Structure 1
Amino acid sequence: MKSIFTAVVFIWGCISMGHSQTSNAVIPQEKSLIWEIKGKNLNQASFLYGTIHMIGKKDFFLTEGTKKSFDQAKQVAFEIDMEEMNNIMALVPLLMQSFMKNDTTLKDLLTKEEYTQVEAHFQQIGMPMMLLNRIKPMFLSAMDPESMMGKGGQKEDIVSYEMEFLEMAQKQKKNVEGLETAAFQMSMFDSIPYKVQAKMLLESIKGGGESSDSQFAEMVDLYKQQDIQGMQDMVNDEGGTGNYNDLLLVNRNRKWIPVMEKMMQGQPTFFAVGAGHLGGEKGVIALLRKAGYTVEPVK
């Protein structure tokens, strides 16, 4: 069941990194992962943190400003309710949503040669296709450890920022919330044609190896520099979710704002979402500023 949780978390991390930027005064220019939200009708500040959903243990870090901001908050909100993901009764229906509809299989979506290539890849990493053939290709890609961390990722410990923050919240007995449900996130996969998903999966496998390792290392380096703009520019240069960007990212950012406002009005909240949601004209920081809030990096 843990692999299901990992896939749900990671795939939205990938989606979170691919939207365009434009010049605007509300767009954040500073390099920071942790931002303070105040003003408008808030009695106390809330905080917004940009995560990278999976990272090697040696590269994991939390600044003192992040720790202090977390301690000041009364509740923690993730993209989804992380405590729900530890509930096996909640994970079972999510597992059912990972399968393609109408008995569609990966064989139906690829040529014989393409399918053989995908099959060989997953057999090599110990994931036989006979068990995976009906899983939605985007979800299948997220279950691939080489997609997450490159080939080197199989040899080192992987840390989830969300799981670290969840553990901190539980120790401090903070309330845990989600900006949207995991079921909603899973349902979004059906908005992208399975054939398109299959081609994306094939391209991710073709682009693996040393190139994948190098790209992931570059992304981690930008993250450690707290360069949210640089991370987005990097993924934009390599492609991304293309015509589905508004559906998978921009629309979600917009829907989050009223949810965040309600939470912040109730009590100071620490929001932890994928770093790719923060920057840009249509990112969460810009949208909060447009809504009348002051959003500044925490020093």
Structure 2
Amino acid sequence: MKKLVLLLLVFVGISVSGQEYNSTLWKISGNGLEQPSYLFGTMHIMPKKLFNISNKTKELIESCDVITFEVNMFDLSFSEKLSLASKMYLKNGSTLEQLMNRDEFTALVDFARDTLRIKERKFMKKYNRLTPFALNSLFTAKYIGKYKMYEQEFYKLAKKNKKEITELETMAFQLSLVSDMPFETQVEYFLDVTEMSELYELINLYRKQDLDAIYDQSEEEAEQDKEMQTFMKKFLVDRNADWIPKIVYQISQHCSFIAVGAAHLPGKEGVINLLREQGYTVEPVAQ
């Protein structure tokens, strides 16, 4: 399940035992804070029929001064949208058919036709020039059907309640992390269509707020795959460490509600433990 965990819960050292990380909502207090802030682990896309935001979460968003996302993808300027859209396509007019090996590409087209009901002709015309990451995002959305995003719903609540909205990093930075990967690695991590069948297993774990199980599965695979270890360090560990000074400064200034991919929360090098190492009390909030 490694790719699904990283894609849907990240962008998301020591295995976690017991039920330490058993919530998606956490309170940050202590260490001189005048008022608490809150941390929420999201799944970036959820089936609409299974999507839910608890009343407690809504109340906390309404009570906080600032709402912070990994990236604020909803207030982009027109030029920023154009720039990001251009990054969704392969460089130099290349196509997936040209760059992938025949077996991988055939499996991709078969999955699009047989599972997603995308005609081969349409695939070749509309999807063949997309990057593996962009295509994965589209395939996941089509596989789920009608869906909602926590970030988008939180954004609506923030705007409705006239909250300040900030971000921990930019969308351009996130995309650069992906584009810097070798193409073969991008194909392995983003276009392994055999893993789509595990999507609802991941969704069920998330709905149970069982971050322990999600973390343990990704950690187990990382122990067996050196490339996976490199991937997780770049996409999880390094970003978590980069976020901590920003989070610490923000919660010292404002009552904040911070929403990031759920896979960033658990583990020795997760955001929860890193904040605890800074002297904060971080504890689960019942929803």
> TM-score normalized by structure 2?
0.84
Q: 2:211 aligns with which of 215, 228, 235?
A: 228
Contact preservation (8 Å) 2:15, 2:216: no
**1:136 to 2:131 alignment:** yes
The one-letter code sitting in structure 2 at the alignment partner of 1:117 is A
CA drift at 1:272: 0.7
What amino acid maps onto 2:69 in structure 1?
A: F
Query: Residue deviations 1:238-265, cap 9 Å, x none?
Result: 6797031101111111101111112112
Alpha-carbon distance in 1 for matches of 2:85, 2:274: 33
Question: CA shift at 1:231, angstroms?
Answer: 2.0
Q: What is the CA RMSD across the aligned residues, in angstroms?
A: 2.7
Cα distance, 1:23–1:114 mapped onto 2, change above 3 Å: closer
SS in 1 for 2:49: helix
- 8 Å contact 2:21–2:266 — kept in the other structure? no
* Residue 57 of structure 2: aligned partner: 66
Bigger shift: residues 38-47 or 232-241: 232-241
Secondary structure of 2:91's match?
Answer: coil
For 2:219 and 2:89, how far apart are their aligned partners in 1?
29
Residues 1:83 and 1:207: Cα distance change in structure 2 (over 3 Å): closer
Aligned: 1:163 with 2:152: yes
- Please give the TM-score of this superposition, normalised by the length of structure 1: 0.81
Task: Give 1:103 shift.
Answer: 4.5
Unaligned runs of 5+ in 2: none
Once the two structures are TM-superposed, the CA of residue 22 in structure 1 deviates from its matched residue by 3.2
- 1:265 matched residue in structure 2: 252
User: Is 1:22–2:9 an aligned residue pair?
Assistant: no
How far the C-alpha of 1:117 sits from its partner, in A, is 2.8
Give yes or no for contact 1:76–1:175 (8 Å, CA) kept in 2.
yes
Is 1:56 paired with 2:47?
A: yes
Is 1:206 equivalent to 2:201 in the alignment? no
Q: Does residue 1:97 correspond to 2:80, yes or no? A: no
SS in 1 for 2:269: coil
Contact kept in structure 2, 1:36 and 1:47, CA below 8 Å: yes
Give the drift of 1:224: 1.9
Deviation at 1:216, TM superposition (A): 2.4
- The answer (yes or no) to whether the contact 1:28–1:279 under 8 Å persists in 2 is no
